Structure 1
Amino acid sequence: MSNALLRILTALVGIPLVVGLLYAGGGWLLAGVLLTGILAQREVYDMMAAGGLAPHRKEGLLLGVLLVLWALMPGAGAMAVLVFVLLLAASPLRKGTAHPLSSLAATVFGALYPACLLGFLVRLREARGPLVDGEAAFWLALATVALVWITDTFAYYAGRAFGRHPLAPTVSPKKTWEGAIGGAVGGLLGAVVFRLTVLPFLDWPHVVALGLIGGVVSQLGDLAESRMKRSVGVKDSGTLLPGHGGLLDRIDALLLAIPLAYLYLAHVAHLFAGAP
């Protein structure tokens, strides 16, 4: 089976699953984000191990789970702080750890990226405000995710058709400025379509901002993960998804876009009441 066909089949399964979890929201979405976060965090730790680091996997995964649960359970945030304090206190006492500070930093980073960042998808879906009920929150969450997908598609085809000038040759040699610009245009166009169809309450300046988050910030998230992989000499973060590589390879662009979209909509657009 060709790689392209595997990618299509994986997308045919993955896209309806993501949309279904976003529609269900609540515990269903939380469970999906938890599972995704754990699997992606394991891939991060595998990459770190390939680069010579020694994260404390079990403690890090526990910290990652608590940081995701924090999206719906405020008490989980306090528990996450407790786990971090215990990790910090125990790090000098661990036997067989040549570089305790590096191991501690790797452990915490693996919990923040991707687990904590992914948890903002739950916050976005469950946010409420004067203009945002459950249905509107679903469309905001779906739009944020879909704009990243649209950006990726536009960037791919624009790069294939017009790509001449490398964007970041030492990080991702195949990416071009033409592809990046095409992706940004796709993100903006997608945001306009969402505004005209299912997000009529969103003012146009915020539409542009959401389009830029999906069209520009998501590409920076992709490049950030590419930089991590190149620094440890691996091509893919894993082999979980046929035709796509690792799970982290599929969600890397979301990891910067989702938190920024939530924070923008909450604290600049002021759409959500009492948002943290």
Structure 2
Amino acid sequence: MITSLSSMATPSYCDALTVTNPSKTLISFRPSTNLTLKFFHASKARGFLQFNNARFGIRYISPKFSTQTLVARADANLIGDEDPVDVIKVHGSSETDDGSEEQKKSSQLSKRVVFGLGIGITAGGVVLTGGWVFSVALAAVVFAGSREYFELVRSRGISSGMTPPPRYVSRVCSVICALMPLFTLYKGQIDVSVASAAFVVAMALLLQRGNPRFSQLSSTIFGLFYCGYLPSFWVKLRCCMQAPALNTGVGATWPILLGGQAHWTVGLVATLISISSIIAADTFAFAGGKAFGRIPLTSISPKKTWEGAIAGLLGCIATSVLLSKIFSWPTSMLSAIGFGLLNFFASLFGDLLESMIKRDAGVKDSGSLIPGHGGILDRTDSYIFTGALAYAFVSNLLPLYGV
């Protein structure tokens, strides 16, 4: 864009001046003579057109430009002979675009790191605290995640092939899902509550005005199961397994004011190992996929590769074994390896399932609640199935809960 145009010459010096956009062609009509046309450009800097034998100039500021053709002819009233015209063509560069793209990626990475650290530290404190603090925090996450799920169900990509549930039903289901972790903490089990909630929701859908559709029922019941029932197992794992992890050395040094050694239960240790293993799996899978990824893992998520999955599996098992040595739980090396395998496959399946939902919905992220990370489901999809499987592993497969 030309921002200023100044001329100190008389009208006889320049009878016609034409500036067009986007080609930015400068033409002075009349036979030409000696003329030097200089054009200076730098990314995001000023450019200056200088006519040595004329008395005017054009200065402009342009962050980016396409191909620019500059043509000038001097006035024959000044000098009688005619010389060839100097024509300078400057072809647009992508340096500005590349710089802007790199700056954008750097800003996104900074947001991911900052908010990732904040979420990690907060989640660690919540897990260590346990009790109603853990349950209320999980209920808030479940409510936000269920809202995102039902918005995905109502998106054009999914609703074009099915009838979504009424909005009031989805809102009620989100509230029910948020209450499930609290019922689990209070009652110790959730099965009866889930069955009752599913019955009420099904009756509301069947008795609605119009023609009830099976797709409404299936998507709603799956929402109760996916967003409410499965995450509630984290409460059963963290808060309901009160057997003390007597062998861990961390509990012996834990302050009395914070609960002492009794605070370090099997549920706390198992939760810490499971969450840490999932984080390690995601980190190693991302790094391995970036460095060695060649073979696509599945069409559901094209960016995932077999090389990244193998790196994630090794990282998950290594983290599980390392933390089992630190916490002295589980006492068996084979149990630690099995726990790492279970955490990896549960997290991978949860990630792929959420990717399938987003693919059908035609969206990249489930939401925009967390800057640089997307929605709640984008950050917690790996944990949805893991809590239930980890609880089943510890309570049913480990003798004496692995102590």
The answer to whether the superposition gives a TM-score over 0.5 is yes
- Describe the SS at the equivalent of 1:172: coil
Match of 1:248 in 2: 377
Match of 1:144 in 2: 274
* Alpha-carbon distance in 2 for matches of 1:238, 1:99: 28
Match of 1:16 in 2: 121
* Alpha-carbon distance in 2 for matches of 1:47, 1:59: 16
Q: Residues 41-99 of structure 1: CA distance to partner in whole angstroms, max 9, x if unpaired?
A: 00000100011142321331233134322321228653443332222223222014x44
Match of 1:128 in 2: 242
Shift of 1:115: 2.1
Q: Verify the 8 A CA contact 2:198 2:224 in the aligned structure 1.
A: no
Query: How many residues are aligned here?
Result: 271
Shift of 1:269: 0.8
- 5+ residue gaps, structure 1: none
**1:208 equivalenced with 2:374 (yes/no):** no
Change (3 A) 1:90 1:114: closer
Shift of 1:215: 2.4
List aligned pairs for 1:3-82, cutoff 5 A: 3-50=108-155, 51-52=158-159, 53-55=163-165, 56-74=169-187, 77-82=191-196
**1:239 equivalenced with 2:368 (yes/no):** yes
Aligned-CA RMSD value: 2.0
Q: Verify the 8 A CA contact 1:69 1:76 in the aligned structure 2.
A: no
Q: 1:179 aligns with which of 308, 311, 322?
A: 308
- Describe the SS at the equivalent of 2:377: helix
Q: Residues 146-182 of structure 1: CA distance to partner in whole angstroms, max 9, x if unpaired?
A: 11000000000000111010001x2111110000000
* Alpha-carbon distance in 2 for matches of 1:185, 1:257: 17
Q: Verify the 8 A CA contact 2:317 2:341 in the aligned structure 1.
A: yes
* Alpha-carbon distance in 2 for matches of 1:7, 1:266: 36
Q: Residues 181-229 of structure 1: CA distance to partner in whole angstroms, max 9, x if unpaired?
A: 0000000100111011013443222101111122232112111110111
**1:222 equivalenced with 2:351 (yes/no):** yes
Shift of 1:131: 4.6
Q: Verify the 8 A CA contact 2:136 2:182 in the aligned structure 1.
A: no
Q: Verify the 8 A CA contact 1:185 1:215 in the aligned structure 2.
A: no
- Describe the SS at the equivalent of 2:337: helix
* Alpha-carbon distance in 2 for matches of 1:220, 1:91: 30
Shift of 1:265: 0.6
Q: Verify the 8 A CA contact 1:33 1:68 in the aligned structure 2.
A: yes
TM-score calculated relative to the size of structure 2? 0.64
- 5+ residue gaps, structure 2: 1-103, 247-261
Q: Verify the 8 A CA contact 1:145 1:258 in the aligned structure 2.
A: no
Q: Verify the 8 A CA contact 1:187 1:212 in the aligned structure 2.
A: yes
Match of 2:202 in 1: 88
Percent of aligned pairs with the same amino acid: 30
Q: Verify the 8 A CA contact 1:155 1:181 in the aligned structure 2.
A: yes
* Alpha-carbon distance in 2 for matches of 1:271, 1:239: 43
* Alpha-carbon distance in 2 for matches of 1:90, 1:124: 33
Shift of 1:272: 4.7
* Alpha-carbon distance in 2 for matches of 1:245, 1:62: 22
* Alpha-carbon distance in 2 for matches of 1:202, 1:115: 32
More strand by share: 2
More helix by share: 1
Match of 2:24 in 1: none
Change (3 A) 1:158 1:79: closer
* Alpha-carbon distance in 2 for matches of 1:119, 1:76: 8
Q: Verify the 8 A CA contact 1:237 1:248 in the aligned structure 2.
A: yes
